[in-house]
């Protein structure tokens, strides 16, 4: 039994809050209920990174901000570690110019009465001193809130808490009603890692792996996660923090050359440290492939993904998720090649990679072969 300084038995608390879904043009941008359901199947020990007894509170579909406040206050009073996860739509009270987490039923005219004021989170968690506090956010800002976030350059957060997450801008089209990419990769890494990564490692992996829309606000601010700016163009140091969130933020902001230069520097460091055939080196090749995709350089991205897939096949089974992901990346980028000569040159290598994956959907290989045949025929 673990006892805190006041003689109380330590207990942890996991508070999962689903706000209102963010929808644009009838497409769901973030589905908070789906995110909570996915997190709910994980053991609390994995979520909290602690083996102590833990209470879990789910708030899905809440309409009264005072109800959420009471749950937040109860969670903040726990004598042990606390994890607060929030997902949903960030909006603005235009009259008071305050950020709010929209709850179920919140509209533009009812924000002041039906949404959770964002500063309540800071007030309740800021007064907490009983144990470590972690806040994880997977949010979409609407058109009213986004200009304010751009003005701030960040999302106000409790200074005593570790805060990780993303706030996606309002302009992207969205997808289907399912677990959002950032939360999905956070969960996936928790499931797959033999030892529980740190929250910073989970966040860095999720940001690097998720296909975040351009302009996404990454928390903590990228300057807090990256090496000092003066060292960015130099060979990276081994005490340096994980650079992936910063690299992704550079690319998402349109600074593709800087992102590629920094990624290449880190790749060289990894090659020298771990070797050319190491999983770490392959991962950085995949990062460069995705950076090329973000920059619209589909020729380079296709080749890098093909190389990564072949390297992984030398060390992993053909149905490994990483192998299939590399093949999927290569196939997608190849389909985006508009130059027929470039597509024709890369096609045979891609077909050989896809043929080596027996679990791949046969239709994908068939369509690839058909397009390559058309390209070969056009040569004449």
CA distances from 378 to 78, 343, 344, 345, 372 (A): 69, 12, 10, 13, 10
Residue 86: per-residue pLDDT? 96
Residue 16: per-residue pLDDT? 96
The residues facing 88 across adjacent strands are: 139
Residue 302: per-residue pLDDT? 95
In whole angstroms, give the CA distance from residue 298 to residue 304: 10
Residue 175: per-residue pLDDT? 57
pTM of the model: 0.61
- List, for the chain, all residue ranges whose pLDDT scores fall below the cut of 50: 1, 7, 221-238, 240
Residue 96: per-residue pLDDT? 81
DSSP H helices in the chain: 32-40, 44-48, 65-76, 111-114, 118-126, 146-152, 181-192, 199-209, 222-225, 244-252, 256-274, 279-294, 298-313, 321-335, 340-355, 362-379
Count Cβ atoms below 10 Å from residue 27 Cβ, excluding itself.
13
Residue 82: per-residue pLDDT? 94
Residue 264: per-residue pLDDT? 80
């Amino acid at each position: 039994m673990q006892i805190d300084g006041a003689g109380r038995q330590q207990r942890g608390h996991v508070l999962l809050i689903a706000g209102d879904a963010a929808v644009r043009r009838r497409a769901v941008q973030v589905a908070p209920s789906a995110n909570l359901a996915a997190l709910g199947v994980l053991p609390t020990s994995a979520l909290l990174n602690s083996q102590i007894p833990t209470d879990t509170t789910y708030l899905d579909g809440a309409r009264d901000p005072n109800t959420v406040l009471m749950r937040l206050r109860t969670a903040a009073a726990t004598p042990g570690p606390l994890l607060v996860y929030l997902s949903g739509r960030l909006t603005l009270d235009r009259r008071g110019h305050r950020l709010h987490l929209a709850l179920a039923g919140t509209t533009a005219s009812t924000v002041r009465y039906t949404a959770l004021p964002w500063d309540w989170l800071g007030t309740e968690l800021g007064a907490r001193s009983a144990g470590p506090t972690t806040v994880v956010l997977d949010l979409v800002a609407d058109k009213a809130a986004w200009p304010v976030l751009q003005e701030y350059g960040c999302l106000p957060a409790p200074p005593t808490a570790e805060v990780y997450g993303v706030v996606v801008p309002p302009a992207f089209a969205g997808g289907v009603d399912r677990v959002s990419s950032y939360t999905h990769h956070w969960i996936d890494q928790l499931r797959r890692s033999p030892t529980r990564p740190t929250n910073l490692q989970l966040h860095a992996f999720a940001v690097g792996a998720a296909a975040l829309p351009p302009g996404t606000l990454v928390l903590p601010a990228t300057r807090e996660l990256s090496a000092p700016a003066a060292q960015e163009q130099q060979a990276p140091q081994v005490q340096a923090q994980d650079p992936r969130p910063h690299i992704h933020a550079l690319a998402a902001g349109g600074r593709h050359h800087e992102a590629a230069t920094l990624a290449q520097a880190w790749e060289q460091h990894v090659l020298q440290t771990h070797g050319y055939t190491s999983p770490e080196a392959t991962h950085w090749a995949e990062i460069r492939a995705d950076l090329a995709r973000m920059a619209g350089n589909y020729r380079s991205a296709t080749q890098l993904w093909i190389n990564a897939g072949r390297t992984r096949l030398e060390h992993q089974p053909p149905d490994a998720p990483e192998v299939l992901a590399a093949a999927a990346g290569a196939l997608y980028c190849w389909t985006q090649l508009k130059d027929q000569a470039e597509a024709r040159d890369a096609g045979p290598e891609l077909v050989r990679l896809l043929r080596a994956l027996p679990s791949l959907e046969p239709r994908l290989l068939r369509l690839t072969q058909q397009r390559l045949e058309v390209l070969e025929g056009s040569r004449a």
